[in-house]
Chains A and B, each alone.
Chain A
Amino acid sequence: MGLLRYPIAIFTSAAVATICITPITSVSNLFWLISADMPVTLWTWLSIIFQDFFNLGIPLLIVFAIGFSIAFAVARLLIILFKLPPKYMYGLAAAIAIAMALFLMVELIYKTHPIAGNRTIVGSLFHIVGGYIGGLVFYKMINKPATKALVVRFLAFIPFILFGSSAVTWIFDPMLASSSFGFDFQSLSDFGKNTLIRDITAFFLGVSIFMLLGIISLNPIWFFSIAIMMGCAFVFNLVAVYSYGTEHNSASVFEIVVALWYSILGLWIKRT
């Protein structure tokens, strides 16, 4: 359990950096939309910030987690070798990792700025500050032992990112969400659109809420509820394939894995 605190701390620090950084792009876009006299409302703010948290945030989280792994390993080495203050070294390491990630994204890979909030010097500085905060979180977390509760929460949180992302996209942009599920939204009748938005949003939002409640309360009943929902999705995926002739799809693998994942987590909590 002791060693688990490192990957958990890296993931959490990357998540905190992501939470600090994604709104830079969202807010810069919102400010421009306001300046262009677009009817920006509270709903617009929520829509953009929540969608960016998941849609921009997930790829960033992966990039940052990889960058932080390297940066923290190097920082640890320097701390041991030169007896440097760990708190600030981890912050600095994470800030440098973000700066490097942004720089390499532009100069080595895309030749342009894939992250809109990074197009100005001020925006870049905010990104680096976000990285520094992530580094401080890492320092705090590695100085605490990893408890079973922390590990369960961490493991339960990973699928939540994907489900939360889907839920938010279905709430704020059902047209986009439906296209990734094979629907041509425009061609549906009004009733069809209504059904699609209502039922599928309810599914993803419901499962996401179960996940959050499980993560917060550590009550296994929430994890079993998720397992039942995803187990049913898996069964009816097979029904669709074998009884109604639809094509095989990779979603069935995802459904059974998530069902088993939360069953195991629920049983693990129940044993204590």
Chain B
Amino acid sequence: MKLRALFLILISIQSVVVAADYTITQLGKRFDDPWSLAFISEDKFLLAELTGELKVVNYTTGEVEALVSNVPEVVYASQGGLADVIIDDAFAFTQQVYMSYSARDADQNNQITLFVARAKLVGNALQDVEVIFKAQAPRRIPMHLGAKMVILTDGTLLIASGDGYDYREDAQYLDNHFGKMVRINKDGSVPEDNPFVDDENALPEIFSYGHRNMQGLLVDEDGTIWEHEHGPKGGDEINILEPGLNYGWPAICYCVDYSGAQITPFTEKEGMEQPLKYWRPSIAPSGFMLYAGKEFPEWQGDLFLSALASRDVRRVSTDFSENSEEVLFSELKARVRNIYEAPDGKILLLLDGPDGRIMKISK
């Protein structure tokens, strides 16, 4: 009887995977650690490879049209390199692009930290390259950089600065940029309404803290900031970011360390935010997308997380109701590094690795 009950419980918790009607095709050939992309027109996008190369890729053919010159020099090692590229919300007029990357900083004992630079894309070259942010988070090895960026509805730039792995406790202290979301103006200056701007013990760029390795960042039409971050073993989570809030890492977490050791037995504390959703065991989320395209009307308004460990994509409805998660594209059996919606509503997946591919999902 008990076995039957146990069996029934097991049956009831099976996640339902509904096969959707879609086609997967490869776009172009192989790419070297494709990490992020940004459409600069209907038929072209910039592709950032972790190695430090920025390429102009034709969306129709997948061919590399040009290698962008004058890209800042990066430290390509471990998880470090040219991580994220985004374009200005008025790119058509400004041609401004923003890049996040790891590099050595002479001002911080020549250690590695997260840099953000802006530049003008003229033809296939970057001009007026200017570093607008250097994280005060020096580290020996470029681990857990975060390095995601998004432009908020008020025109400021939000940057994810990860906890550096070995410096996790610093995520709780406001005198550094480990484990922080950072908000700056597009010229690198600090917005006057940042939450800690009047706190002399805090760095003024900090927007929120208590983060680990943030890998997903997006803003919806209402201006809500969605973020997801890697936990270690367990503890991958989705949050909505608000200024000045503490998201708890590493004091609270639904996780244990990679080594199996406890990081914290606590999962909640007053003054620390709870995730909207968390995964245990980890899926290792990478990219983040809020789908609004016409190609898949049934998916409009849903969140998509590409995932490395689970080698698939998770579609999650924003009400986070039970059974709101669907596993997609697991047939690729690949670590999915990032996910984007193309201008025509099709979905692009960046598959991880030095032999990486770009896959186009269409009806």
Pick from A48, A114, A175: contact of B280, CB under 8 Å: A175
At the interface, yes or no: B12 with Cβ under 8 Å from chain A? yes
Neighbouring B residues of A175 by C-beta, 8 Å: 254, 280
Which stretch of A28-36, A72-80, A95-103, A127-135 is in the interface? A28-36
- Would you give the shortest CB distance from B43 to chain A, in whole angstroms? 40
Known pairs A176-B280, A187-B322; A116 contacts B263 (CB<8 A)? yes
Bound-state Cα–Cα, A15 to B78, Å: 33
Interface size class of A (residues with CB under 8 A): 35 or more
Which stretch of A50-58, A137-145, A258-266 is in the interface? A50-58
Neighbouring A residues of B15 by C-beta, 8 Å: 184
Neighbouring B residues of A236 by C-beta, 8 Å: 3
Bound-state Cα–Cα, A111 to B265, Å: 26
Neighbouring A residues of B265 by C-beta, 8 Å: 44, 47-48, 172-173
The answer to whether B261 touches A56 (Cβ under 8 A) is yes
Neighbouring B residues of A48 by C-beta, 8 Å: 262, 265
Q: How many contacts between A and B, using CB within 8 angstroms?
A: 101
At the interface, yes or no: A246 with Cβ under 8 Å from chain B? yes
Interface size on B, residues (CB 8 A): 36
The answer to whether B281 touches A179 (Cβ under 8 A) is yes
Pick from B2, B4, B169, B262: contact of A244, CB under 8 Å: B4
Bound-state Cα–Cα, A115 to B234, Å: 17
The answer to whether A36 touches B172 (Cβ under 8 A) is yes
Pick from B141, B264, B266: contact of A112, CB under 8 Å: B141
The answer to whether B234 touches A116 (Cβ under 8 A) is no
The answer to whether A116 touches B269 (Cβ under 8 A) is no
At the interface, yes or no: B10 with Cβ under 8 Å from chain A? yes
At the interface, yes or no: A240 with Cβ under 8 Å from chain B? yes
At the interface, yes or no: B257 with Cβ under 8 Å from chain A? yes
Interface SS majority for chain A = helix
Bound-state Cα–Cα, A135 to B179, Å: 40
Bound-state Cα–Cα, A184 to B10, Å: 9
Known pairs A55-B256, A119-B166; A183 contacts B262 (CB<8 A)? no
Bound-state Cα–Cα, A11 to B166, Å: 30
At the interface, yes or no: B259 with Cβ under 8 Å from chain A? yes
Pick from A38, A55, A199: contact of B251, CB under 8 Å: A38
Pick from A22, A33, A182: contact of B10, CB under 8 Å: A182
Neighbouring A residues of B4 by C-beta, 8 Å: 244
Chain A, range 176-193, C-beta contacts under 8 Å to B: 176, 179-180, 182-184, 187-188, 192
- Would you give the shortest CB distance from A106 to chain B, in whole angstroms? 9
The answer to whether A116 touches B10 (Cβ under 8 A) is no
At the interface, yes or no: A113 with Cβ under 8 Å from chain B? yes
- Would you give the shortest CB distance from B60 to chain A, in whole angstroms? 40
At the interface, yes or no: A166 with Cβ under 8 Å from chain B? no
The answer to whether B262 touches A26 (Cβ under 8 A) is yes
At the interface, yes or no: B299 with Cβ under 8 Å from chain A? no
Chain A, range 7-45, C-beta contacts under 8 Å to B: 22, 25-26, 29, 32-33, 36, 38-39, 44
- Would you give the shortest CB distance from A252 to chain B, in whole angstroms? 14
Bound-state Cα–Cα, A33 to B258, Å: 19
At the interface, yes or no: B217 with Cβ under 8 Å from chain A? no
Known pairs A111-B143, A244-B3; A29 contacts B165 (CB<8 A)? no
At the interface, yes or no: A239 with Cβ under 8 Å from chain B? yes
The answer to whether A176 touches B234 (Cβ under 8 A) is yes
Task: Considering the complex, give the chain B residue whose CB is closest to the CB of A54.
Answer: B260
Given contacts A111-B77, A111-B78, A111-B141, 9 further A-B contacts (CB under 8 A): A36-B169, A48-B262, A51-B262, A52-B261, A112-B165, A113-B166, A114-B257, A173-B265, A179-B281
Interface of B with A (CB < 8 Å)? Answer: 2-5, 7, 9-10, 12-13, 15, 77-78, 141, 143, 165-166, 169, 172, 234, 251, 254, 256-266, 269, 280-281, 322
* A–B complex contacts, Cβ < 8 Å, 25 sampled: A22-B261, A25-B261, A29-B264, A36-B169, A44-B265, A48-B262, A52-B261, A55-B256, A56-B257, A59-B260, A111-B141, A111-B143, A112-B141, A114-B257, A114-B258, A115-B261, A182-B10, A187-B12, A187-B13, A187-B322, A195-B5, A199-B2, A239-B3, A240-B3, A244-B7
